[in-house]
């Protein structure tokens, strides 16, 4: 269940797998109560590693972003070069109301992705 599904697909109130969520799943489905340390060992044995997730807004329109990166941005870059200008990229430096702190568990080599809204408060 942990390998093939995300917690929300199992109707659990979590985005991704943490040791606590896996422990809760074991308790709910199999009536087994194990420590978070034991859950961590299980996850490692199942090929999972703790990782920092990346975030993607579900409102993002990937084809349009790809088009922007291939066509629009190169034109900006060319113009900046012609004018002797620099392009500076900024990033959000705040904390959202539903921010996922720490790491979660994901199969080794697979970066976990949290798909969520880009709105400030939900």
For tokens 């702190």, the residue is: 101
CB 13 within 8 A of CB 98: no
85 within some domain? no
Strands 48-51 and 104-107: antiparallel
93 within some domain? no
19 within some domain? yes
Q: Encode pLDDT of 21-64 as tens digits.
A: 899 889 988 999 999 999 999 999 988 888 877 766 666 677 88
112 within some domain? yes
**pLDDT at residue 86 tops 80:** yes
The pLDDT mean for the chain works out to 80
pLDDT value of residue 6: 78
Range of the domain at 52: 7-57+101-116
91: DSSP letter = -
In b/e form, how buried is each residue of 12-49, taking b as 16+ CB within 10 angstroms?
Answer: bebbbbbbebbbbbbeeeeeeebeeeebbebbeeeebe
CB 48 within 8 A of CB 95: no
pLDDT value of residue 74: 93
Q: Domain holding 12: CATH number? A: 1.10.10
pLDDT value of residue 65: 82
pTM greater than 0.85 (yes/no) = no
Question: Which residues fall within 8 angstroms of residue 19, CB to CB, at 6 or more apart?
Answer: 36, 39, 40, 43, 105
121 within some domain? no
91 within some domain? no
83 within some domain? no
Number of structural domains found in the chain: 1
The C-alpha angle 69, 86, 118, rounded to 5 degrees, equals 45
């Amino acid at each position: 269940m942990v390998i093939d599904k995300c917690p929300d697909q199992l109707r659990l109130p979590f985005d991704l797998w943490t040791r606590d969520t896996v422990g809760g799943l074991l308790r709910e489905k199999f009536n087994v109560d194990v420590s978070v340390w034991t859950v961590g060992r299980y996850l490692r044995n199942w090929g999972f590693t703790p990782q920092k997730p990346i975030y993607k807004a579900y409102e993002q329109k990937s084809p349009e972003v790809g088009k922007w990166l291939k066509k629009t941005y190169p034109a900006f870059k060319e113009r900046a070069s012609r004018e002797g200008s620099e392009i500076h990229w900024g990033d959000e430096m705040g904390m959202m109301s539903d921010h996922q702190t720490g790491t979660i568990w994901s199969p080794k080599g697979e970066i976990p992705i949290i798909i969520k809204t880009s709105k400030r408060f939900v």
